[in-house]
């Protein structure tokens, strides 16, 4: 594993807001929690917040190593069968006991053909109850990444789902709604008190949490606030309204560090930003070219790559707080091969123009371009820079920058020509996650985040082989082959890997893991 990117930050407490007690904690992010249902979509920030309320059979520790959670142990009685022994004496926040029935209903709900979440359970063929505290999980092949996948399957209370007519999954991308979108019931260290979309989410400590004997945090009351404006977020921190905020606006780092009692903390992150191409449809959605799709041609994708100065974006737009990406996964991810280092083609606008002409577009063309403005660090600014760079070679990118609540449903619905996506493989911390989610041909289960329909038969063949291979050398060679193919075909255009850039008040100790999430169970306020 290439992890070890954890940063544990502590300082002495300066002052708490007059309205707070020593164990109150208020923090902000640039966007909001999308909903309270962890199976409604696979969006890292939303899931990371719900993780404080609901738990899986296993979880990641401070160093992104897997450890027991609602399962105490497991073994493999057969190569494709795992047996999990569940933790006894655990109760949900409503007092209902946790049993195998809750695990089974969670799997059935998440793996339903109507669930957008099912791609995260793609290699599981079934779960069956052995007894109240034992569950067997079967996989389609011997699958060494099962534990990684299960960190993301947060367990529902069956009785609670039945009570609120919520046994069926909800797909917000289709405009569906339900009780679980605004309410949550779990076994975790914090209880949901209030969820007001675009305003605040309030938690209180779970005094009956099964792991309280080993807890690190000393919080009693937590408030999360979505604050999209960089200036407002910084002002809220420096005025004492917040204890922590992220991302810290890159242009304000020096100002925050110069303010007594506050500090910017930074560590490498797993998330890589990329641009996706519509390659499945025969015509783009928003283009002056009718009857054909320029992005299907490799020469056009090569031209787009050579038109974009990624080093300039990293230097100027990201102010040096990013690392140029060679492929769509970061170097720190398990499975990365140094042979993938280096950009496929250099920045060269003249070469880009020549390739457009060679492809039959000497005057360029227009296309739609979609980016979020509240999900990644300087996401809209990066896209504005790309628009200008493409314009220099004759490509008019018609930019729509909007909140991620609108951006991702549009992209997932297949309505975009050219779009921004960030991916961290935070659920598995492994290269296979990119293959399974982004690189394989969509089949209704796998390729859930490949709406542009990139497709290569050899990549599709390698994905299940990689999933089941236990020989490290053979597995590494197959991963290298798949990513080399994807890189040479420019299946997606890699941009850069972000860094975690947060700002904290003195006296707040936090863990800053490489998957870019804030685990409240590790937050400690100095006395």
| Residue 55 belongs to domain spanning | 39-188
**pLDDT value, residue 515:** 84
In a domain, 473, yes or no: yes
**pLDDT value, residue 5:** 33
Instruction: Indicate whether 3 pLDDT > 70.
Output: no
Q: Are strands 508-512 and 7-9 parallel, antiparallel or unpaired?
A: antiparallel
Q: With beta carbons less than 8 A apart as the criterion, state whether 433 and 427 touch.
A: yes
Exposure string over 264-274, b if 16+ CB within 10 A, otherwise e: bbbbbbbbbbb
In a domain, 226, yes or no: no
Whether residues 183 and 275 share a domain: the answer is no
In a domain, 169, yes or no: yes
Tokens linked to 237:
């921190």
Residues 6+ apart with CB under 8 A from 513: 5, 6, 60, 62, 63, 64, 519
Residues 6+ apart with CB under 8 A from 347: 306, 307, 308, 309, 310, 311, 312
Judge residue 129's burial from the number of C-beta atoms within 10 Å of its C-beta, 0-12 exposed, 13-18 middle, 19 or more buried. middle
DSSP 3-state of 371: strand
In a domain, 248, yes or no: no
Q: Are strands 395-402 and 244-246 parallel, antiparallel or unpaired?
A: unpaired
Whether residues 182 and 299 share a domain: the answer is no
Whether residues 183 and 302 share a domain: the answer is no
Q: Are strands 24-29 and 244-246 parallel, antiparallel or unpaired?
A: parallel
Whether residues 273 and 183 share a domain: the answer is no
Whether residues 141 and 290 share a domain: the answer is no
**pLDDT value, residue 174:** 80
Stretch (H or E) spanning 46: helix 44-50
Instruction: Indicate whether 167 pLDDT > 50.
Output: yes
What Rg value do the Cα atoms of the chain yield, rounded?
A: 23
**pLDDT value, residue 86:** 98
147-154: average pLDDT: 94
Query: Which among 59, 82, 83, 84 is positioned nearest to 140, based on CA atoms?
Result: 82
**pLDDT value, residue 511:** 92
Distances in whole angstroms, Cα of residue 355 to Cα of each of 26, 150, 349, 390: 52, 45, 10, 13
Residues 6+ apart with CB under 8 A from 486: 327, 328, 439, 454, 456, 459, 492
Q: Are strands 395-402 and 492-505 parallel, antiparallel or unpaired?
A: unpaired
The CATH number covering residue 133 comes to 3.90.76.10
Q: What is the mean pLDDT of the chain?
A: 92
In a domain, 211, yes or no: no
Q: With beta carbons less than 8 A apart as the criterion, state whether 500 and 512 touch.
A: yes
Neighbouring CB atoms inside 10 A of 212's CB total 12
In a domain, 31, yes or no: no
Distances in whole angstroms, Cα of residue 207 to Cα of each of 52, 71, 92, 155, 503: 14, 20, 12, 19, 29
Q: What percent of the chain has pLDDT over 90?
A: 83
Dump strand ranges (E) for 89-185.
124-131, 134-139
**pLDDT value, residue 522:** 95
DSSP H helices, 91-229, are: 100-110, 146-150, 158-163
453-478 pLDDT tens trace = 999 999 999 999 999 998 999 999 99
Query: Which among 381, 346, 365 is positioned nearest to 417, based on CA atoms?
Result: 365
Which one has a higher pLDDT value, 43 or 418?
418
250-281 pLDDT tens trace = 999 999 999 999 999 998 888 999 999 999 99
**pTM for this entry:** 0.79
Q: With beta carbons less than 8 A apart as the criterion, state whether 238 and 256 touch.
A: yes
* Number of independent structural domains in the chain: 2
**Domain final residue, candidates 167, 188, 209:** 188
Whether residues 273 and 184 share a domain: the answer is no
424-459 pLDDT tens trace = 887 788 999 999 999 999 998 899 899 999 999 999
295-354 pLDDT tens trace = 999 999 999 999 999 999 999 999 999 999 999 999 988 899 999 999 999 999 999 999
**Domain final residue, candidates 146, 163, 188:** 188
Neighbouring CB atoms inside 10 A of 478's CB total 21
d(CA 77, CA 463): 25
Whether residues 176 and 301 share a domain: the answer is no
**pLDDT value, residue 120:** 85
Distances in whole angstroms, Cα of residue 290 to Cα of each of 69, 277, 285, 287, 367: 54, 17, 9, 7, 11
Whether residues 307 and 165 share a domain: the answer is no
How many residues can be counted in the chain? Answer: 527
Displacement of CA 367 from its chain's centroid (Å): 27
84-99: average pLDDT: 98
**Domain final residue, candidates 188, 214, 234:** 188
d(CA 527, CA 524): 9
Instruction: Compute the half-sphere exposure of residue 37: CA atoms within 13 Å on the CB side of its CA.
Output: 24
In a domain, 155, yes or no: yes
In a domain, 173, yes or no: yes
204-212: average pLDDT: 97
Residue 419 — very low, low, confident or very high, per pLDDT cuts 50/70/90?
very high
Q: With beta carbons less than 8 A apart as the criterion, state whether 92 and 54 touch.
A: no
Q: With beta carbons less than 8 A apart as the criterion, state whether 295 and 305 touch.
A: no
The CATH number covering residue 322 comes to 3.10.105.10
Give the residues across from 418 on adjacent strands.
277
Whether residues 175 and 287 share a domain: the answer is no
């Amino acid at each position: 594993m290439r992890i070890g990117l954890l940063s544990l930050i502590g300082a002495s407490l300066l002052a708490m807001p007059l309205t707070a007690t020593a164990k109150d904690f208020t923090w902000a992010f640039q966007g909001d929690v999308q909903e309270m249902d962890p199976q409604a979509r696979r969006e890292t920030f939303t899931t990371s917040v719900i993780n404080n309320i609901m738990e899986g059979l296993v979880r990641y520790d401070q160093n992104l190593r897997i450890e027991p959670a609602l399962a105490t142990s497991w073994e493999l009685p057969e190569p494709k069968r795992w047996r999990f022994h569940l933790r006894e004496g655990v109760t949900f926040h409503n007092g209902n006991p946790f049993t195998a029935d809750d695990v089974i209903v969670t799997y059935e709900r998440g793996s339903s053909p109507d669930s957008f979440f099912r791609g995260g359970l793609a290699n599981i063929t079934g779960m069956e109850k052995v007894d109240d505290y034992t569950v067997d999980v079967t996989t389609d092949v011997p699958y060494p990444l099962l534990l990684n996948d299960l960190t993301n399957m947060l367990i529902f209370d069956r009785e609670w789902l039945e009570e609120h007519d919520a046994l069926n999954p909800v797909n917000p991308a289709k405009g569906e709604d339900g009780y679980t979108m605004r309410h949550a019931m779990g076994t975790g260290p914090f209880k949901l008190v209030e969820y007001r979309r675009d305003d605040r989410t309030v938690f209180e400590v779970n005094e009956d949490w099964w792991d309280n004997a080993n807890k690190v945090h000393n919080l009693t009351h937590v408030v999360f606030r979505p604050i999209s404006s960089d200036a407002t977020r910084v002002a809220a921190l420096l005025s004492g309204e917040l204890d922590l905020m992220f991302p810290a606006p890159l242009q304000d780092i020096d100002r925050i560090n110069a303010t007594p009692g506050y500090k910017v903390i930074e560590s490498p992150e797993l998330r890589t930003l990329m641009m996706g191409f519509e390659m499945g449809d025969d015509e783009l959605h928003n283009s002056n070219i009718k009857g054909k799709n320029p992005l299907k041609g490799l020469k056009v994708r090569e031209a787009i790559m050579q038109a974009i100065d990624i080093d300039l974006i990293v230097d100027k737009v990201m102010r040096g707080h990013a690392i140029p990406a060679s492929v769509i996964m970061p170097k720190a991810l398990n499975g990365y091969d140094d042979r993938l280092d280096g950009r496929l083609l250099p920045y060269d606008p003249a070469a880009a123009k020549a390739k457009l002409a060679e492809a039959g577009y000497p005057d360029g063309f227009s296309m739609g371009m979609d980016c979020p403005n509240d999900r990644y660090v300087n996401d809209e600014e990066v896209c504005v820079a790309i628009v200008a760079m493409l314009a220099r070679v004759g490509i008019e990118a018609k930019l729509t920058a909007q909140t991620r609540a609108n951006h991702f449903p549009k992209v997932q619905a297949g309505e975009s020509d050219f779009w921004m996506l960030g991916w961290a493989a935070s659920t598995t911390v492994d290269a296979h996650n990119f293959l399974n989610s982004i690189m394989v041909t969509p089949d209704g289960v796998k390729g859930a985040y490949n709406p542009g329909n990139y497709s290569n038969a050899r990549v599709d063949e390698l994905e299940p082989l990689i999933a089941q291979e236990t020989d490290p050398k053979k597995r590494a060679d197959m991963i290298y082959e798949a990513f080399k193919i994807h890189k040479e075909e420019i299946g997606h255009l890699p941009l850069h890997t972000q860094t975690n850039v947060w700002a904290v008040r003195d006296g707040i100790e936090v863990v800053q893991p490489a998957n870019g999430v804030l685990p409240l169970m590790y937050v400690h306020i100095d006395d």
